[in-house]
Amino acid sequence: MKTYNTRRVYRVRCQSGIIGWRTRLGNNYKSYADWKYNAEMWGLDSMLGFKSPREAWDANPVVEGSVNPSDFRKVKP
């Protein structure tokens, strides 16, 4: 079983069928401020099922996505 506790980014086939990436949320953003800006602009925290950007950042879930915005989602590690 993969633990996803490193800065590694995995290549995966996303729900849309195209190749994308899978990693921890914190690995995709330089800082909390960067995450918060994008989360508030695009509603990313609610797409992942969290009530606020801070809650999502603290949980640091495994996420996957691609060039298709609908592929962005939380996945089980």
Q: Tell which wins on pLDDT, 73 or 2.
A: 73
Amino acid at 53: P
Give start and end residues of each alpha helix (H) in the chain.
32-42, 44-47, 53-59
Q: Per-residue pLDDT tens for 7-52?
A: 889 999 999 999 999 999 999 999 999 999 999 999 999 999 999 9
Confidence category of residue 70, pLDDT binned at 50, 70, 90: very high
Residues 6+ away with beta carbon under 8 Å from 45: 39, 51, 52, 53, 55, 56
pLDDT at position 3: 64
The DSSP symbol for 49 reads T
